[in-house]
Structure 1
Amino acid sequence: MRLISDACRDVIRGGSFDLSYSADLYYDGQRLFEGLPVVDPSFDWDASGAIEGSGTVTVVWTDDQGKSLSPHEPQDWLAPFGARLVVYAIVSVGSAFSERVQIGDFTIVSVPSADDSVFIFGETRIVVGSKVKLNLKDRMVEVQRDRFTRLSSPSNMSSVWAEAAALTGFQLTRSLPDAAIRRSVVYEEDRVAALTDLMAIVGGVPHMASDGTLTARPVTPGPATAELRVGPRGTITQIGSSLDSEQVYNGVIIRAESNEQQQVLAELWVQSGPLRATPAGGERTPYHRVPRFYSSPQITTGTQAAQAAPGLLAQYSQPRASSLEIQCITDVSVEVGDVRTVDDGQATWTVRVSKCMLGSAGTMTITGDVLSRAVNVS
């Protein structure tokens, strides 16, 4: 959850505020411009992607000297060759209140269009303004592009976080306790895959925090940190639920990654409820057996596999079965991975945010994987 002040939270709950955006432009660690005006913003975060955050913005610029901001060469300011935008949402109520919240540190990946408004004065061409549309991705795209070019192995076996820093060069937010790397492996070409295997050791999934640091979201959901609700005191404007059996598993089979025979190190099945699996030699259950096969270079023994199986089963079973689609008053504190309670008037759901979309409108869309549901008792 992005940190915002209590005053900002109260303003959002009140539902009457202005929302605008600005951005700071960075290149090679230096801030080139502060407070670029940004219009038509659209941002999406999806926890299922290697690169979770993406977006589009349009920078509208008028220069006092009549210069263009439209990029034409790799060294130009907004060119997609290493330039970054740190984007801020500004929540304000007239002149009485204003708060700037950093929503992400993004790499510019393409410039779909760049237009200049031109005025000809005599023989002089004067640029009245520039309008530049930018496609953005969070900085994990830099890790994705940086493929391993030669065989290499972990340089620091004593610390997952130290090795993550060595693999990416990013500053870290150490959100989970550190651990030693159990086994030296040869990294394949995909650097994101190597980082994902590393973070699994500490029970996390790598992602870029809104402040631009590399961190890890715990695989196991924590307690709810905030509430969304309908009604006069709530911010939800529309809510719907869905059920889908796709990618919902009732068993985890952990296999040795390096064994050509695919030796099974551990297996664990759901034994009760609607997702219970058919027991060996027993009566067939309605959902029968839907196994999720899993392997990791860091799980090499039966003991390690047995320790990992319960958490994996919890991850791949119930939370994937049911989801809520929520439209609510824009809340810039919401992030993928947040655990929130959702009160729809009839029941209180506990969900983990798996997707969210943010723009210039007064409402935003959130998708939450359902962790639990309790019927309200009046």
Structure 2
Amino acid sequence: MPATKIVVNIPGETPYDVRIGDTVLEGLGASLKKLPAVASAPHLLVLTDTNVGPLYVEEAKASLRAAGFRVSDIVVPAGEDAKSLAVAGEVWNAMAGLGLTRDCAVVALGGGVVGDLAGFVASTYMRGISFVQVPTTLLAMVDSSVGGKTGVNLDAGKNLVGTFKQPAYVAACTATLATLDEREWACGCAEIAKASVIDSDEFFFWMLDHAEALAARQPETVSEAIARSVVFKANVVAEDKTESRGVRECLNYGHTLGHAVEALAGYGTFSHGAAVAEGMRFAARLGVRVAGTSEELVAAQDDLLDALGLPALAWSAPADQMLAAMKRDKKTRAGEVRFVVPRDIGDWELVAVPDDVILEQLRQWEASK
């Protein structure tokens, strides 16, 4: 199946390609040789983790070396703990030890954690060097690899330190998805479902029609779902590059409760996608209360998430603890928690919700478990 190319064109930034296909990893070096920002780099650093490195780092390095690049690699521990200032510091020091200069570049080979960390260290090392995203999970392909958000976590919460730094190129090699387990696959499906609810009737009903094929990893359906999600996200980011105009906040649908679930359950207890799917269920029901969302939308979204292998979580936490966790989220303003809620498919609203309403809804959520 031929590769799909999508051009991400963000005002004020150099346009970059997203290539989606099953052979883009083996062609990585040749692709980078065509990029002005990277082609003459004297040294490339591949940043990967202990899960992905043994599977794909040698193939990536071989492709880069065949194109004439000098290549080194750094392997960080797999998992959310790697998204920390401590690990970033280790990577910065390693980059300095390798003698990387302003004209070098970082290649992020892995899932969202690796991509966020690599983008953050690239954007801050010597005040910024180029980086390339090579996402190896469905979640990273459809979400974090596009749009330029980078960051690390603090003890106080996720992604509280970061930058906006667009990649020079994104190589989404669908062949790498074969090694994902069911948990990680469903994780990516949650972000695609999120995009479809926010985007349009056309995308949402396409998802309903193709949910079974996507859950079964049918190749053509997978490639189209990735492409649709990338186009959706690229269009949103083009309108609101730094999340300053309110448009990009639609991408946080499901994340307000989702991040609280992750924090209180313990990072890694549930996948990010499972937590976001739970947050989508909660936000749609909250929308019925505060934005006139229809019960039909709630039911249709539930059906889609169920079909994608994302059932409601059999977990809860006390309402006051959940609210406190939400108030630590970076989307909070003036002490008020803000939720993205769908008024309808393709029609969303950012709502500052009073604490008493949130607590009422959280108690209903808790009682449903």
TM-score (ref. length: structure 2) = 0.21
More strand by share: 1
